[in-house]
Chain A
């Protein structure tokens, strides 16, 4: 199971480590994550966030953005549109990503698997820093939590009790949404 982190926790790590690479598995849209991250960064630190996406100018432009970046936190978005060759090229040129920034690769599970498989050098420096983005239940209003739980129950056709049993027995799917489900139920202790 991938280790879950909330925006609060991730920014605490950014604050204490300052320079590192990590992969953030995003169960939902990237926009919400970026907004939460920006907000948390502004609360805990003064650090600004730079979003980098690969456009039609290709990887060279990505490296150039890294070279000129002044922001201490860089979020690479849109990785699901990268080809396997892009990941391999990124891997070979890993040194060009070393800018003293905290670098976050935002990816869904499928893209994460491609990234770590095609970029073994990058995977090596990321190490265990692969996190699953989860909402910070303590910061959510009860109605907001209940609304999200209702969505999950309806989508997967399961009850909270069934999920808790599966998690306890180790049969729960590793899909990020199920981890989110446990977190929202206040049972993050059952993750992993």
Chain B
């Protein structure tokens, strides 16, 4: 049953050989190639929740690590900082700390590199600044200066880089320059940023850091939220050299064997029939994590019934359970809206409420700008 754990870290699934590489779907080779050939390029991987973005980033890291002259550095930003309260500089600080682990083993680390690391540490963890205590200054009136900020007449096309971010980037640059002297070009891979579901939230966190990384000529690959593909997110796409979209997989095994192969690789064939696996593929809507979750629920039901093999009822219950998880929390208006989509009235992610349905995967985007209600949810709404 451990092979069907949707919360298992993808790095473990890769190590255990549970990842089915499907050339028509995988993008990691393109990510690696882009980072290698266009040094200093910035690439974004966008996709819905559970579409396999982390797996692709980790596979790209593995691919890049095969090249002796490249040092791919994977940073799960969400595991090292509170993304909900993050400030500009978090990406740089977490990258700097990761880079140091590759620097510190060298026998002679120059003082300027050590000093740069010290600055990165201070930026990452904070420090206490000691200022002179002015105390009872007799001529205080002389200090009673009034300053007024007069804004410039020309608004910059994008916000200026903050000084602390620029300083932090310089320190990171010292570390990358040292590593380059050792024959290693750094490629930074930032994961976890896709959890920032809203475009403005995402851009607030990453903009300053990504712009500060530009002059350092470090290739960047980052995960981003699905919302980047819609509305104001399209403007942000223009910032990146490449935007890779990880769409839901083709759910029907009749059209693509990918999902069926994923199940078989994880040993589902020992527990269920080919037809039952087909049903799980269809019910997943092509969302990889949902497929794994469906297989797990089926296996759980069989296990609790002390059955060696899954029955059709176990599969049916598993699909219901997943559908329930999508149904819970929906209001009457949302349910009515989803029923309209099921009835063929169409769907346009043009307003926040509709976008929310896409982000939460209750509605799935399909090829040709088509949208469909998640199949497991659709069964409960019919």
Residues in A lying within 8 Å of B, measured CB to CB: 1-3, 5, 9, 12-13, 16-21, 59-60, 63, 88-89, 91-96, 98, 112-118, 120-121, 123-130, 192
Q: List 16 A-B contacts (CB under 8 A).
A: A12-B303, A20-B5, A89-B85, A93-B195, A95-B76, A96-B78, A113-B329, A115-B329, A120-B359, A121-B49, A121-B197, A127-B289, A127-B325, A128-B297, A128-B322, A130-B324
Q: Tell whether B304 is near chain A: CB-to-CB under 8 Å.
A: yes
| Among A18, A115, A124: residue with most chain B CB under 10 A | A124
Residue positions of B touching A, CB distance < 8 A = 1-2, 5-9, 49-50, 76, 78-79, 82-85, 192, 195-197, 289-290, 292-294, 296-297, 300, 303-304, 317-318, 320-322, 324-325, 328-330, 359-361
Residues of B within 8 A of A124 (CB): 6, 49-50, 289-290, 361
A120-B78 in contact (CB<8A):
no
Q: Are A128 and B293 in contact (CB under 8 A)?
A: yes
Q: Which of B2, B84, B324 contacts A93 (CB 8 A)?
A: B84
Of all chain B residues, which has the CB nearest A115?
Answer: B329
Flag if B5 contacts A93 (CB, 8 Å): no
CA distance A94 to B360 in the complex (A): 15
Contact A127 B297 (CB under 8 A): yes
Q: What B residues does A19 contact at CB under 8 A? A: 2, 5, 7-8
Known: A9-B304, A92-B84, A130-B324. A117 touches B329 (CB 8 A): yes
Which 10 residue pairs spanning A and B have beta carbons closest together? A127-B293, A117-B329, A128-B321, A89-B84, A95-B79, A128-B297, A125-B7, A113-B329, A120-B360, A128-B322
Cα–Cα, bound, A3→B16 (Å): 31
| Contact across chains for B196 and A92 when beta carbons are under 8 A apart | yes
Beta-carbon contact of A126 and B325 below 8 Å: yes
A125 touches B79 (CB 8 A): no
Q: Is the CB of B360 within 8 A of A92?
A: no
- Nearest chain B CB to A180's CB is how many angstroms away? 17
Smallest CB–CB gap between B349 and chain A, Å?
15
Query: Which A residues lie within 8 Å of B361 (CB)?
Result: 120, 124
- Alpha-carbon distance A128/B320, docked complex (angstroms): 8
- Assess whether A129 is in contact with B328, with CB atoms less than 8 Å apart: no
Q: Which of A5, A95, A113 is B192 in contact with, Cβ under 8 Å?
A: A95
CB-contact partner of A128 in B9, B196, B325, B329, under 8 A:
B325
Is B84 within 8 A of A20, CB to CB? Answer: no
| Cα-based distance from A76 to B300 in the complex (angstroms) | 22
- Complex Cα distance, B2 from A93, in Å, reads 23
* CB pair B195 A92 closer than 8 Å: yes
Instruction: Verify A121–B324 contact, CB threshold 8 A.
Output: no
A55 to nearest B CB, angstroms?
17
* Cα–Cα, bound, A123→B84 (Å): 18
- Given A13-B304, A112-B328, A128 and B78 touching (CB < 8 A)? no
Give the nearest-CB partner of A96 in chain B.
Answer: B79
Task: Collect the chain B residues with CB atoms within 8 Å of residue A88's CB.
Answer: 84
Q: List 5 additional contacts besides A17-B2, A125-B7, A129-B321; criterion CB under 8 Å.
A: A3-B317, A13-B304, A59-B82, A120-B360, A128-B324
- Docked complex Cα distance between A29 and B73 (Å): 47
> In the complex where A93-B78, A126-B325 touch, is A98 in contact with B84 (Cβ < 8 A)?
no
A89-B84, A128-B297 are known contacts. Are A18 and B325 too (CB-CB below 8 A)? no
